[in-house]
Amino acid sequence: MSARESFVARFGGVFEHSPWVAERAFDANPQVALTTNAVHAALVAAFRAASDAERLGVLCAHPDLAGKLAIAGELTDDSKAEQASAGLDRLSPSEHARFTELNTAYTEKFGFPFIIAVKGLSKDDILSAFERRIDNDRQEEFETASAQVEKIALLRLHSMLPGDANA
């Protein structure tokens, strides 16, 4: 396996179902140090350099929070663990109904699912952010969701790689 293939195999899922981010990151910097901060910087640079349509594809690859993929058990292992850490796998029927209502309204308004890095947040924190962010305009929310995708990537990398000595 080539160095590029190995990098993509290892980091291709950090940006949800979007291995092209890792491919471009490696192509731009094949000597990237395998530390959390260095890999994250390379992946983020590739993501930010992408077209809005490509970035939208990454946003759309993310599942709804507590949505139909979660119910069907079809989340990626990372997404499943992330949602469970916030209690989204243990919602009451009324909480689930509220998430479903917000997911539908948000996706209809913005054209991509609500994305938030859930680590350290409760379901109430997430609902509050959901209700606040749904009032954003599309460009503001596109940038907010993109920043959240980058934060999710960093959290995933923390579990995969050592940190930086100077961090």
| Residue appearing with tokens 């970035």 | 55
Q: Which of 40, 62, 96, 158 is catalytic?
A: 62
The answer to whether 62 is a known catalytic residue is: yes
Under 8 Å between Cβ of 15 and 153: yes
Under 8 Å between Cβ of 28 and 17: no
Angle, CA of 130, 133 and 137, to the nearest 5°: 145
Strand segments (E) across the chain: none
Active site residues: 62
